[in-house]
A and B are shown apart, each in its own frame.
Chain A
Amino acid sequence: MIRLKVNGKNHRFNGDPNMPLLWFLRDEIDLKGTKYGCGMGLCGACTVHVNGRPARACLTPVSAAANAAVTTIEGVSPDGSHPVQVAWEELDVPQCGYCQAGQIMSACALLSSKPKPTDADIDTAMNGNLCRCGTYLRVRAAVHKAAELTAANRTRPAKPAAKASSARTTRNGGNK
């Protein structure tokens, strides 16, 4: 019996302990945001946080996450209000969008250790995340933008973010 916490919620798993965490997340507890791209830790589409550190869920046996706290893209914020997500949306980063959950997870991990990263820091931290569409330039810009937003939020009292996003579900975000 493996116990682990995903996005703050406790789970138990009785199956194959060698099954990669990726398939536990996607098919056992229905968190589909974490993506399968290569199964070899080469593309980063499956990036999650295990105890706060970025990990490739396709290479992490579910047993290795026993008793750990796992965060997936669904746990970053349910409404897209995390500064990294806000930056991603504002800069309209995605093309196909398939790699972006992994990109965002790597970016979040980077910013938690380096709140003001340089281009070189970003390249180093994000180099494990492939984007087949080639959105790298916008990913890099969005990481900088997220750093700015985070810094601005620190100097400003937090305000509820839910209202704007509920309106957004019925209408477009408008022109940039």
Chain B
Amino acid sequence: MPKTSLNRRTFLRATALAGGGFMLGLYPKAAALAQAGRGAAPALLPANFISIASNGLVTIASKNPETGQHALNMLPMLIAEELDVDWKDVKIVRAGVDNKYGSQFTGGSIATPSNWEPMRQVGGAARQMLIAAAAQTWGVAAMECSTASGRVVHRATNRSLGYGELASTAATMPVPDFRSLKLKDPKDYKIIGTTTRDVENKEIITGKPIFGIDVTLPGMLYAVYQKTPVFGGRAVNANLDAVKAMKGVRQAFIVDGKPLPSNFPNYLNDDPGLEAGVAIVADSWWAAQSARAKLEVKWDEGKWGTLNSEDIAKKAGELSRQTPARTLRKDGDVEAVYKRSDVKVVESPYTFPFIAHAPLEPQNCTAHFKDGKLEIWSTTQTPQIGRTILSRVFGIPEKDITIHMVRGGGGFGRRLYNDYMCEAAWISKTVGAPVKLLWTREDDMQHDYYRAGGFQYLKGAVDKDGKLIAWQDHFIGYGEGETFTHSGQIDGNEFPSRFVPNFLMQSTVMPLGLKTGALRAPRSNVYSWVFQSFIDELAHAAGKDPLQFRLELLGNAPPKGTQGVMDAERMIGVVKLAAEKSGWGRRTLPKGTALGTGFHYSHRGYFAEVAEVTVSADKKIKVNKVWVAGDIGSQIINPGASENLTQGAVIDGISEMLQEISLKNGRVVQSNFHDHPMLRMSQAPPVEVHFLKSDNTPTGLGEPALPPILPAIANAIFSATGERIRTLPITKHGFSFA
């Protein structure tokens, strides 16, 4: 039984539709009750996951935001499979933002695990109702009927009726209990496991206005927003009159900012609400942006105007020599191991920078505040959270806020946060007109919720048999007291916790005046590099093949149920598959060319990767090829999209080895793709993707394929050159990608 708590909290309701169709919806009972508890009980309006027209065309609402991960297709595929219709007869529409759809969220690779069961149940329940309608029409028992390709069939009498013909009767049938539904045997799947192309491809390739940046409203004005360059700062004054005198400018004004009430956590954990800055509103975006070039602002920088990356690094170095502030996990006694004469001890510091999300579509939002109500068009990954934040910032009830989900040009976690939404809404309210706020690339890069940088001081030991027996990590990150900054935390469960008898995880935090947040595979995207690089160092110290060393380490798994969330057997499966596909240990490579490997468990996914690199004398790295082996359960729902997403994750991970966000006087130094680069086509290696199907509920793919590529490449560089990458970006070591 898949673990989906949503299942237990939902029930179905069907409603007859004018025009002979029917609607079938999934209701989040708990969410509705929670709302009621807050005194704002919404009427349970009928949802429209499925409507069937009398001509048989099936329209399915896809409920989650789409930023390129193909959820727009995937969720309807689950419904259509159990509804038992042909994919060619399905039309997908984007759902509105409404609690009747349950959670509408893009992040954490949870679209698949949290919807695998409920979406199939929605389809299965509708199918059951169509069967009941046919049985009633024919006067036969429902159990004598079956379905195929959008028709209910009664074999005994050789009769059949199309779903379109049955739709209005089906809408009057009782909704079956989800738990009573008999869902398909996977061997009968026709849609799940078959590639479907993105339903918006045609719009994309013909340049239709489907992205957030393309939204246009009648009478709309355009805005730019100069945010405080230092976190927590505010504008004291500005030459607003001079700016307002510029051609096309309608208004220019200072926004003081409006932090959320204290029951919303501060920057350490979430959206800060409305941040301070200066808004310029004009007849066109170019007029607003041109006026901004003349803008002069006196900022009150608050307390963070002296923060510098060099000082942070120096401070971390000092802290590394002091007793860690907290102990997160302690097994056995690492110190006792180091004192033994029959062990080899390895000690290495690893350093990694802040990096930016930089989705290709810069943040933007179109808002219209009118008569106390707010309408928003946004690429947000969290429309429901955004609505709550807006409600608090503007002091209006959530029912007076309408959010339209618009396709986002990449998310990667950046659009989990809704700062741009607050700004657009505030500007619209101030000027009394619909407003499109568009950030520049520079705004986007300098006002991100960065992947937290950090420092990890590792120490470990192997015994005379080459077995890993001690592992110690002093993690130096950011936060206050016992609180880490958002997505900058670590805990005692990180591998190889539980697989090593003597294990010590400790931490110390430094204060930080910079927002941090979730970037694709948060924490894992760089901890994987740290841990899997250090495992490689220990393998070499043990004189063992790095991949074999890993298999032996995974073989030390504690009994099931005590190994934490990671299942060692599943990881061993993908490590072996990656080894097999890449020819690990079976190929002779020329000098300067080598393989490296890494594995990582994150977001319920098991991934092992092997990279082959060639490094030239001038330290230019050519990644010749990458092999990916992944286990995300029993089904690869959309194989074509899964391959695309996995290849993209690998290329994204390689890009991250080049990126750095640094601070000078509290300000982000980097501004655009020249100093925060990403991989280009000539640098992108072929990526061979293999999935190991296991007897587990299908899980998500947005994130878990990314983390292992960083250590796989770093370890290959070591094997090719003897130089260990202990600092990112790799340019700090003089390396670059050819």
Contacts and interface: CB of A to CB of B under 8 A. Distances in A.
A174 interface: yes
B162 interface: no
Nearest to B88: A174
B87 A30 contact: no
Interface residues on A, range: 35 or more
A80 interface: yes
Given A27-B286, A32-B207, A89-B205, A97 B68 contact: yes
Given A45-B360, A136-B681, A175-B87, A95 B648 contact: yes
A95 B672 CA distance: 22
B360 A23 contact: no
B529 to A, nearest CB: 18
B641 interface: yes
Contacts of A30: 216
A88 B674 CA distance: 28
Interface stretch (A49-57, A120-128, A153-161): A120-128
Contacts of A123: 681-682
A139 interface: yes
B685 to A, nearest CB: 9
Interface string B186-200: 000001001111111
B264 interface: no
Interface of A is mostly: loop
Contacts of A99: 360, 409
Nearest to A167: B88
B438 interface: yes
B681 A127 contact: yes
A148 interface: no
Interface in B629-667: 640-641, 644-645, 647-652, 655
A19 B286 contact: yes
Contact of B91 (A37, A97, A171): A171
A92 B197 contact: yes
Contacts of A96: 67-68, 359-361, 407-411
Contacts of A45: 360
User: Which of B200, B290, B362, B410 is most buried by chain A, counting CB atoms within 10 A of its CB?
Assistant: B410
Contacts of A37: 360-362, 441
Contacts of A43: 360, 673
A73 interface: yes
B161 interface: no
A80 B655 CA distance: 31
Contact of A133 (B68, B211, B674): B68
21 contacts: A15-B284, A28-B284, A37-B360, A39-B441, A40-B673, A73-B206, A80-B202, A97-B210, A98-B361, A98-B409, A100-B205, A126-B681, A127-B682, A131-B360, A132-B652, A133-B410, A135-B648, A137-B647, A137-B686, A172-B91, A176-B196
Interface of B: 57, 67-70, 87-92, 191, 194-202, 204-211, 213-214, 216, 222, 247, 284-287, 290, 358-362, 407-412, 438, 440-441, 640-641, 644-645, 647-652, 655, 672-674, 678-682, 684, 686-687
Interface of A: 15-16, 19-20, 23, 27-28, 30-40, 42-43, 45, 72-74, 76-80, 85, 88-89, 92-101, 104, 122-124, 126-140, 165, 168-176
